[in-house]
Amino acid sequence: MRRDFITYCFGYLAALSLTGIAFACVFYRLLPPVQTFALVLVLALIQVIVHMRCFLHISLKRSARADLQLILFSAMIILLMVGGTLVVLFNLSARMM
């Protein structure tokens, strides 16, 4: 019980700080736009890892591999659907111009 509470608190603080860093970088224009985009992308990927580890309790242990494979497969399907939708929309936009 106490270990789970510590994990949740660490995850909450990590997610909050990662979001705050990204927000401050964009709001105060601390970096040029390309570097800001790269930093926000890296912070978002780190935040996904924090969420999966601290809140979804997904680790790289043998017993949790099925859960990880399920999430990766779901992410792949979502990316394919979003990517296909964007291809169709940009194709239609180019044909209408």
- List pLDDT tens digits, range 36-87: 999 999 999 999 999 988 998 887 777 777 777 888 899 999 999 999 999 9
* pTM for the full predicted model: 0.72
Residue type present at position 12: Y
Neighbours of 47 (CB within 10 A): 18
CA distances to 75, 83, 87, 96, 97 from 90, in Å:
22, 11, 5, 10, 11
Residue 4 · residue 51 · CB < 8 Å: no
Residue 54 · residue 13 · CB < 8 Å: no
**pLDDT of 90 strictly over 90:** yes
Higher pLDDT, 52 or 20: 20
Q: Where are the beta strands (DSSP E) in 20-80?
A: none
Among 7-16, 21-30, 47-56, name the one with the lowest average pLDDT. 47-56
- pLDDT score for 67: 79
- Sequence-separated (6 or more) residues with CB below 8 Å from residue 40: 22, 25, 26
Integer Cα distance of 68 and 6 in angstroms: 23
- pLDDT score for 32: 96
- pLDDT score for 50: 94
